[in-house]
Amino acid sequence: MMARHVSALWAGVSVALAAAAVLLLARYAPVQTDLLALLPPTERSAAAERAVAAMRDAAGNRAVFLIGDAQAPSARRAAARFAAELRRSGAFASVQFEVPDIDPQRLTAPHREFRFGLLTDADRAALVDGSFEPEQWLLRRLNDPFRTPLGGGVAQDPFGFFGNFIASLPYRQLRLDLEDGLLVARADAKGARGIHVLVSAELAGSAYDDRVQRSSLAAVAAAEAAVRAVAPQAEVLRAGAVFFAEAARASAERDVELIGAGSLIGIVLLMLGVFRSVRPLALGLLTVVTGLAAAVSATVLVHGELHLLTLVFGASLIGEAIDYSIQYFSAYAGAGSQWDPRRGLAAVRPGLTLALATSALGYGALMLMPFPAVRQIALFALAGLVAAYLSVILLLPYLLRRAYGRDIAPIAVPTARLIEWWSARIGPKPAAAIVAAVVALCVPGWLALHADDDVRALSSRPAALLEQEARIRSLTGVELATRFFVVEAGTPEAVLQAEERLAARLRPLVDKGELAHYQAVSSFVPSAARQEENRLLLRKSLQLDGNGLAQAFQQVGLRSTAAGDLAAAYRESEGRILTPQAWAASPAAAPYRHLWLGSTADGHASVVVPAGAAANNALEALAAGIPGVTFVDKAASVSRLFGQYRAGLSYGLGVALLLVLGVLAWRYGLRGGAAVLLPAVLGMAAALALAGYGGSAVTLFNVMALLLVLGVGVNYSIFLIEGRARAGTTGIAVALSAATTMLSFGLLAFSGTPALAGFGATLLAGIVIAVLGAPLSLSLAPRSLRQCPAASSTP
Amino acid sequence: MLGALLAFGPHVAADEALALIRARLDAQPRLRADFEQIKRLADLERPVVANGRLLVWREAGVLWQIEQPVKMQIALREDVTIQVDASGRRKTQQATSDAAAARLGRVLAALLHGDTAGLEQWFEIAARVEARGWTIALTPRRGPMAAFLKSMYVSGDKYVQAVSIEEVNGDSTSITFRNHRDAAALSSEEAGLLGVP
């Protein structure tokens, strides 16, 4: 018999899938915790995407600590202990604590031999507009008691041009000081004795690798304990992607455990309570396990990994996957001693197939979204439901042959009476009145709705970690670049020239105070064209060719050879141009090296980081009109993307409604189809209204939940209509299905991830209304559908 | 035991001496003085001498006005440093964006106030108080300032009388003050530069 082979084959496939899923999860542990990895590319150019990734990597593989104490010696001692403990643990690739004394000469070394091409904007302006008077400048330079010899002695840098250039470099934005060989930050530059000592560590792997997370966090905890032993008052501040990633993973793991355990326990209790037999429970769980195994295997095979969000969602899928077997068991229990597996299957199959079809439409719509996170969840659900469905119709008839030994009548008969009473009393008119009342109750809620597309909904970022990160930023002056300009051009020189055009537009914003400052490679390395220009300006203004300089030097008493030496040094440096590559390779470039992205597929690229409160559209406007310059704000792009998807999915929801209505109309006629669809629509309407009443914003994830309310909620009406010949057991099955779904998705509402919690809450509300409203479809459907096809003698 | 004594003994003494010095200087929180500054640089055939006036206004900061051989004013305030050249051109630098190596001015301003509390972070401080006068010697701790600054000496009585700065490369600056007097009022320009309302 054909069916037998197919069943045997499916049994084999199921075992293989289960083995594959266990193997994939245990051996490769491909669980992804990086939330942004789930998002599609948001930027227009590939270089911008690469820039985003490069900036994230630069920040992502480090952990930064500040160890602070009100007493400086105590802070130093604590930091030394902390660093020693981190090193001893071996959890980090490297730990940086002591810093070799930096000779300011070394800081200026990459620039020194190019100094005749390097000028600040103010000095350039003075040279251009002629306000530069050599003797006056020389005297000011000589008599300024507060000048530090950054640019070299008077003979090398008589007018202070090079010193001014060095002083203008963005190093000064760092509020870290080198003190006694340690990098130290002070909350208060003056007075206070308390200090924070910087310790930084390089991770032994990716911040999103859970093994790296575990070992790093354990090492940090041990080091913190050690610090408390030597300096009980000391505080340890931390920042780094690894801490957020670990918090997100821990939160998601708690979710998976809570939802998984909660729905399993709930299902076990409900199944045992209703069927009072172990066999339906065991077989029901078998279909769930095959479903989950297929879901895991399919997702890992297609996506190469399993995201934490998918796992959390997957845990809640248990409640939906068991619905098919519940329908089957209701037929089984209803048949009592008359059980014939083949006839039983024939009775439930149309309803199950239709239910799978509507769910598949819902998830299928999600699969079409260009959004890896959503596609992965949809694939997971689709594979899981199809496998659970196949297990029910292919395996259960063979595994459930012996007749039901107990009597379901004690609960089936009252349920049947309730449904009969409803069908008899609540006709189309009262039903329409109920619908109108529900809609009227919903209206104020709808009016209070507002949308929110903030990307932060995707992650749970603990307030304590955020606060520590903010304090580290304000103490050290190290900015976290979340928005920046990407500058792309064919050659490094063209990149620098584009940067200079951008910088000329950024400077007025800095002067107006809308920006605190900006970081750009061109601040360190002017374009070759500008360096040439500067050299010519200097040559002209200093009269290097004549003896004007010698005269000025003589006036102030500078040694007689100085002018000649300077002119010789100028001539000697002819043709020397500082290149961004050479700068990036120098040790002094370390804090800003990430700004230079280097060669890309289309040429060369760099990043310019503005710091300050200027509005995004103001910055975007600055980039406009300069070829190759793009403004990037990843968080804003993602939020915009969320907004687009939310709008798109809302239309998709409309289309899905029509499709489902079409499928239902094909089987029940237009009026019947509409009646079957109505409870699900009411559920969606009520879920939206509840969000409005509760003051929570509508996000992309709420709309996704509505799509599932449609796909799952319509099942209950289908089961009721299809199973009207055995109204009692069908009613019980529908209630049981709804209970398991509500349990699993309802638990999702308690997720620590805001997006999932919103998703769960909407689903819970929608499903509750859909199942409570399911009898309305009995009332509103045409007479032919309301009456039983054959007078039911069985309950 | 001996180590502890060596470590703490001079430190405590310095703290006490500094408190005494501070108390003496506190008597004149607002004062004017004339100064003469002599710089001896390796690159110069002869020393450069500058004359000018000093204005200390405790709550606001220090104004350094050079008259000869070039006119320039430098206002050292808590939050900002302002330089004004002979033609009135201003250059402003926020204190928060000070390069670590450019703090010399702030150190000097603090010393002129007798405010040594903030200096310990950068210097080893030794202080001696005698019946008539006092001296403070500052040696930079390891760090960017130590790369160019060898030592700094300040001496005085009820006023700061002299400052000398020795640089690592052999250059030196010595400043002497005289004609100290109470600063009764500020001109509008001075008030503007010091940010006094």
Determine the number of helices (DSSP H) and then strands (DSSP E) in chain A. 29, 13
Comparing CB atoms, the residue among A72, A149, A155 nearest residue B148 is A149
Task: Write out chain B's pLDDT in tens, 197 residues.
Answer: 333 333 333 444 667 888 888 888 877 888 899 999 998 988 888 888 999 998 888 888 888 899 988 889 988 887 778 888 887 788 777 655 445 445 667 777 777 777 777 677 778 888 888 888 889 898 988 766 777 788 999 998 888 899 999 988 888 999 999 998 888 888 888 888 888 87
Residues of B in contact with A152 (CB under 8 A): none
- With 70 as the cut, is the pLDDT of residue A538 above it? yes
Q: Rounded to whole angstroms, how far apart are CA atoms A617 and A452?
A: 19
**pLDDT interval class at A191 (50, 70, 90):** very low
Is A558's Cβ below 8 Å from some Cβ in B? yes
Comparing CB atoms, the residue among B43, B85, B104 nearest residue A559 is B43
Selected residues 585-644 of chain A with any CB under 8 Å from a CB in chain B: none
10 Å CB burial of residue A495 (0-12, 13-18, 19+) is buried
Is A102's Cβ below 8 Å from some Cβ in B? yes
| Preceding omega of A754 cis (within 30 degrees of 0) | no
The mean pLDDT of A468-477, rounded to a whole number, is 81
- With 80 as the cut, is the pLDDT of residue A312 above it? no
Comparing A39 with A207, the larger pLDDT belongs to: A207
**pLDDT interval class at A318 (50, 70, 90):** confident
Most confident option among A14-18, A122-126, A674-678: A674-678
Comparing A696 with A107, the larger pLDDT belongs to: A696
Could you tell me the residue ranges of all domains in chain A? 2-32+246-447+637-786, 62-99+181-239, 104-162+474-633
Nearest-Cα residue of chain B relative to residue A565: B43
Residues of B in contact with A150 (CB under 8 A): 99, 101-102
- With 60 as the cut, is the pLDDT of residue A766 above it? yes
CB–CB contact A178 B98 (8 Å) = no
Is A175's Cβ below 8 Å from some Cβ in B? yes
- The pLDDT assigned to A172 comes to 63
Long-range contacts formed by A532-541: CB under 8 A, 24+ apart: A532/A117, A532/A577, A534/A116, A534/A117, A534/A118, A534/A119, A534/A124, A535/A116, A535/A117, A535/A570, A537/A119, A537/A124, A537/A127, A537/A128, A538/A116, A538/A119, A538/A127, A538/A161, A538/A570, A539/A570, A541/A127, A541/A132, A541/A134
- The pLDDT assigned to A300 comes to 87
**pLDDT interval class at A788 (50, 70, 90):** low
> Which residues are CB-neighbours of A111 under 8 A, at least 6 positions away?
A118, A162, A165, A166, A524, A578
pLDDT tens digits, one per residue of B21-42: 888 887 788 889 999 999 898 8
pLDDT tens digits, one per residue of A406-422: 888 888 888 888 888 88
- The pLDDT assigned to A480 comes to 64
Is A104's Cβ below 8 Å from some Cβ in B? yes
**pLDDT interval class at A595 (50, 70, 90):** confident
Chain B interface mutation, best of A69, A77, A139, highest count of B Cβ atoms under 10 Å? A139
Whose CA is closest to A685, among A467, A450, A442, A340? A442
Amino acid (1-letter code) at residue A78: A
Q: Which of A21-35, A380-394, A566-580, A644-658 has the lowest mean pLDDT?
A: A21-35
Q: Which of A163-167, A678-682, A693-697, B108-112 has the lowest mean pLDDT?
A: B108-112
- With 80 as the cut, is the pLDDT of residue A159 above it? yes
- The pLDDT assigned to A424 comes to 80
CB–CB contact B86 A136 (8 Å) = yes
Superfamily of domain A2-32+246-447+637-786: Multidrug efflux transporter AcrB transmembrane domain (1.20.1640.10)
Could you tell me if B103 and B140 are in contact, meaning their C-beta atoms sit under 8 angstroms apart?
no
CB–CB contact A190 B105 (8 Å) = no
Return the bridge partners of A31, or none. A306
CB–CB contact A180 B143 (8 Å) = yes
- Structural tokens at position A425: 């009393």
Distance from CA of B123 to the nearest CA of A (A): 10
Most confident option among A535-544, A660-669, A747-756: A660-669
Comparing A725 with A618, the larger pLDDT belongs to: A618
- The pLDDT assigned to A156 comes to 82
CB–CB contact A131 B39 (8 Å) = no
Q: Rounded to whole angstroms, how far apart are CA atoms A666 and A129?
A: 84
- With 80 as the cut, is the pLDDT of residue A458 above it? no
Look over chain A and give the mean of its residue pLDDT values, rounded to a whole number.
Answer: 83
Q: What angle do CA A227, A230, A236 make, to 5 degrees?
A: 30
Distance from CA of A228 to the nearest CA of B (A): 23
pLDDT tens digits, one per residue of A118-133: 898 888 988 888 888 8
Distance from CA of A303 to the nearest CA of B (A): 48
Place of tokens 């809450």: A761
- CATH annotation of B10-194: 2.50.20.10
Q: Rounded to whole angstroms, how far apart are CA atoms A694 and A691?
A: 5
Helices A700-722, A754-780: inter-axial angle, 10-degree rounding? 30
10 Å CB burial of residue A262 (0-12, 13-18, 19+) is buried
CB–CB contact B48 A517 (8 Å) = no
Chain B interface mutation, best of A179, A475, A510, highest count of B Cβ atoms under 10 Å? A179
- Top-tier CATH class for A62-99+181-239: alpha beta
pLDDT tens digits, one per residue of A697-711: 888 888 888 888 888
Q: Which of A41-45, A216-220, A425-429, A724-728 has the lowest mean pLDDT?
A: A41-45
Place of tokens 């687009």: A644
The mean pLDDT of A501-507, rounded to a whole number, is 92
Q: Counting one residue from A and one from B, how many pairs have CB atoms under 8 Å apart? A: 130
Selected residues 462-521 of chain A with any CB under 8 Å from a CB in chain B: 477, 517
Q: Rounded to whole angstroms, how far apart are CA atoms A779 and A774?
A: 9
- With 80 as the cut, is the pLDDT of residue A147 above it? no
- Structural tokens at position A386: 């199809």
Residues of A in contact with B168 (CB under 8 A): none
Is A122's Cβ below 8 Å from some Cβ in B? yes
Comparing A148 with A572, the larger pLDDT belongs to: A572
- The pLDDT assigned to A364 comes to 81
Nearest-Cα residue of chain A relative to residue B171: A153
CB–CB contact B143 A101 (8 Å) = yes
pTM of the model: 0.71
- Portion of chain A with pLDDT greater than 70, in percent: 91
Q: Which of A323-332, A454-463, A464-473 has the lowest mean pLDDT?
A: A454-463
Amino acid (1-letter code) at residue A356: L
The mean pLDDT of A253-277, rounded to a whole number, is 84
- The pLDDT assigned to A572 comes to 87
For residue A40, give the DSSP letter.
Answer: P
Nearest-Cα residue of chain B relative to residue A154: B43
Residues of A in contact with B63 (CB under 8 A): none
Q: Rounded to whole angstroms, how far apart are CA atoms B66 and B74?
A: 8
Could you tell me if B145 and B101 are in contact, meaning their C-beta atoms sit under 8 angstroms apart?
yes
CB–CB contact B70 A177 (8 Å) = no
- The pLDDT assigned to A102 comes to 59
- The pLDDT assigned to A188 comes to 57
Chain A interface mutation, best of B48, B51, B168, highest count of A Cβ atoms under 10 Å? B48
- With 70 as the cut, is the pLDDT of residue A282 above it? yes
Comparing CB atoms, the residue among A153, A178, A184 nearest residue B43 is A153
Residues of B in contact with A134 (CB under 8 A): none
Selected residues 735-774 of chain A with any CB under 8 Å from a CB in chain B: none
Chain A interface mutation, best of B79, B97, B108, B123, highest count of A Cβ atoms under 10 Å? B97
Comparing CB atoms, the residue among B69, B87, B97 nearest residue A172 is B97
- Structural tokens at position A685: 């309407």
Distance from CA of A124 to the nearest CA of B (A): 14
Is A150's Cβ below 8 Å from some Cβ in B? yes
CB–CB contact A101 B66 (8 Å) = no
Distance from CA of A149 to the nearest CA of B (A): 7
- The pLDDT assigned to B8 comes to 37
If DSSP states are collapsed to H, E and C, what string results for A696-728? CCECHHHHHHHHHHHHHHHHHHHHHHHCHHHHH
